[in-house]
Each structure stands twice: as structure tokens, then as C-alpha cells.
Structure 1
Amino acid sequence: MKIRIVAGGPPFLIPDLNSCDSGSDIIWVGVDRGTFVLLEAGIHPKHAFGDFDSVSDVEKEAIIRSGISLNVYQSEKDQTDMEIAFLWAMDQNPDELLLLGATGGRLDHELLNLQLLFNSLEKKDTAVKVVDRHNEITLHAPGTYRITQDERYPYVSFIAYKEEVSGITLRGFKYPLQNAALQMGSSLCISNELVNKNGTYSFDSGIIMMVKSRD
């Protein structure tokens, strides 16, 4: 099972949603205005979460008429609509979870959406990604990982998350590394590229945010 959560980020950053609709086992979920974004794309989400304060009265009426299973919350609460939807999705134990429409716009929401990835580290059987038209963002615990060239995202960056990363080794990259340390705030591993079809990255401690991107 795969879950796609769509929030109401800037339209120019939201990927073509129909290109993300591959397979019969996909569950679409709307978050607030993202629910209307899905309906406009011709996709009928199975669930929707939010206070729906970012849609017009006409858009809200369209959402209500659609027959989607709505989970409506008050505007004043301790969690964002995205966090509520994310935690629900993780409880479903999907093989893959994509967060779309989660970047751009308000920086506080964008940063929180990226930090939600931290809650997925213990779910090793679920691949969680934040995806927009220019980036694919994932979070990783220590280990060894294989990476394949992706023409959609030719640049690969590694960013220390929360603390120093030790023993980082990059093989098959334009700028390889061997047992290096990556500090918080360091640009050491920004804008790298694979020179071979496949490569590997590994590290001994810390947490890494990997950003695959394009201009």
C-alpha cells in the first residue's frame, strides 16, 4: 500500500499529481486546501484532514459534496493539519508515503513538514519522502545505502540533521569522501553528483537529510 498526502502548498511547486498515481494500491489523502487541489486534478481522495480555513466557501462546499471521509478539526489545536494526517498515515504502515504540497509558502510549516520525517526513522519498512517539482527529501539513520542515478534529480546533497555525522563515505560520486565528519551548518556535501549509474553512501553516527534536486 502507498499513501500520497497532498497539502495546499504553492501550485508551482506541487508535482503533476497524476504522474504520482501509479498502481491500484494508492490511497490519496488531502490536507486542508490540498483536498481541493486533488479534486481539481481529477483525483478523489479517500480521506481528508484539516480545519479547512484555507479554502473559500465555494471550495469547501465542493469538498463536502464530494463525499470524502472528512476529519474536521478546530483551527486552534496543538498539531498542524499535516502532522495529524502524517501520524494517521504512519499508523497504516504503508510501504511508501509521499508528502506533496508540503514545501514553499509559509516557512514555519515547511520546516515542520521536513521535521516530520524524523518520526519515520523507526519505521524501516516505510519509505517516506517530501517531494516537490525540484526536490525529493528523505531522512536516514546510520548505515550503508545504495543510490541510483535519477535524471529528474541530478544533484545529491547530504545535510547533517540534529547533530554531527561521523564516518560519512561516498562512493560513485563526483566528489567522493572517505570516513569524513559532517558538521551541522557545513556545506561539505552540498550539490554532489553521481558519476556512475549506481553509488553508495554510508555513515556511522548521526542523522542525514538527503536532498535530491534539480535547478
Structure 2
Amino acid sequence: MIINIVAGGPETLLPDLNDYAGENVIWVGVDRGVFHLLQRNIKPLIAFGDFDSVTPEELSVIESQVKEMNRFKPEKDETDTELALDWALKQNPKSIQLFGGTGGRLDHLFANVQLLVDPLIKGNFTNIYLIDRHNHLTIKGPGHYTIEKKKAEKYISFVPVTLNITNLTLVGFKFPLTNRHISLGSTLCISNELIDDYGTFSFSEGILIMIRSHD
């Protein structure tokens, strides 16, 4: 099972959501993201939010089409997206894909990236992706990973989340590395590219953000 969460970020940054549909996919709407889904004839199983970003007319449409509404007061400790992600993690999915979580306010963007880091720190290794029209972001802990070359996502960057990344090794990349130590704040691993059909990266300590992008 894959859970797709659509938050209320700028609609212009949403990819074609139909590309992410399938038989074993559950859709979740967050605040204005619910309306984005309904506009694309995708009916979410469940919705979360205070719905302060939709008009009364739009809210009426949402309420008429979504059976399970989880409404919250604007004054709360968690963001609407965090509440939706917490629910999704409890369903034990194969992966979670978050859309509408980039662009607009930078505080929302940084909060959403942190939401991807938090489950890994707590020992939940569910694959969670933050996706928009130009970027595909995920979080990785220590290990050995294989990635495929994709024409649509030419650039691959690795950004440290923790103070140190130990023994980072990149194979099959334009700029390879072998057992390299990377510190928080380093830009060494920005805008790399695969030169082979497949490449690998590995490291023994720390947490990395991996971003696949195109211009």
C-alpha cells in the first residue's frame, strides 16, 4: 500500500497526480490540498486540517464529497500535515508520498522536511518522499543504496542533516567519493549526476537528505 498525501502548497508546483495513482494507493487530503484533489477528480479517503485556507464555498464542496473529515482548531501544537503524516505512518504503508509541501512559506517547507526526518530518528524506516514538479526528496540513514539514472531528474544532491556523515561513498557518479567525511553545512555533494544507468551511495553514520531535481 502507498499513501499519497496532498497538502495545501502552491498548485503550480504539483506534478501530474494521475501519474501517482494506482490500485493500491490511498489518497489523503490536507487543508486546501483536499480541494486540489477534488479538482482533479481524485476523492481522498480521509481529510485533515483547520481548513482556514479554503473559502466557505470550497469547504462546502469538500464536506459534500469527503466522508471522513478530521477538523482541528488553527491553534494546535501540530501542523495539519504532521497530523496527516502521523495517521499515514500508523497504517504501515510500503511508502508515503507527500505533495503540496514545497513552495510558498519557507517555514512550512523546513517543517515538512523535518517531518520526514523525525520517523527515521524514532526507528520507523518507512520510505517517505516529498515531491513537487521539479524535485523528489527523501531521507536516508546509514546503509548501502542503489539508484537508477532518470532523464527527468538529472541532478542528485546529498545534504547532511546531522553534524557529520561518515564514510560517504558514491559509485557511478560524475563526481565519485570514497569514504569521505561530510560535515553539516557542506555543499560538496550538490548537483552531482549519474554517468551509468545505475549508481550506488553508502555511508556508515549520520542522516542524509537526497534530492533528485531537474531545472
Normalising TM by the smaller chain, what interval?
Answer: over 0.9
Q: Which runs of 4+ in 1 moved over 4 A?
A: none
Retained in 1: the 8 A contact 2:47–2:66?
no
Give 2:133's aligned residue.
133
Matches within 5 A, 1:30-49: 30-49=29-48
Alpha-carbon contact 1:3-1:28 (below 8 Å) kept? yes
Cα–Cα, structure 1 residues 200 and 79, in superposed 2: closer, same or farther, change >3 Å? Answer: same
Shift of 1:201: 0.3
Shift of the 67–11 alpha-carbon distance from structure 1 to 2, 3 Å rule, reads closer
1:172 aligned residue = 172
- What SS is found at the alignment partner of 1:109? helix
Contact 1:120 1:128 in 2 (8 A): no
Counterpart mapping for 1:18-57 below 5 A: 18-21=18-21, 23-57=22-56
Amino acid at match of 1:123: N
Show structure 1 runs of 5+ residues with no match: none
Measure how far apart 1:120 and its partner are: 3.0
What's the CA shift for 1:185? 1.0
Q: How does 1:80-95 map to 2 (within 5 A)?
A: 80-95=79-94
User: CA separation in 1, counterparts of 2:118 and 2:25?
Assistant: 21
Q: Which TM-score applies when normalising by structure 1? A: 0.97
**Is the 1:102–1:113 Cα contact (8 Å) retained in structure 2?**
yes
Q: CA RMSD in A?
A: 0.9
CA distance in 1, matches of 2:27, 2:143: 31
- State the percentage of identical aligned residues: 48
Distance 2:56 2:127 in 1: 36
Consecutive unaligned residues in structure 2, runs of 5 or more: none
8 Å Cα contact 1:156-1:212 kept in structure 2: yes
Residues matched between the structures, number: 213
- Give the distance between the partners of 2:214 and 2:138, measured in 1 at CA: 15
TM-score scaled to structure 2, two decimals?
0.97
Q: Does 1:107 align with 2:91?
A: no
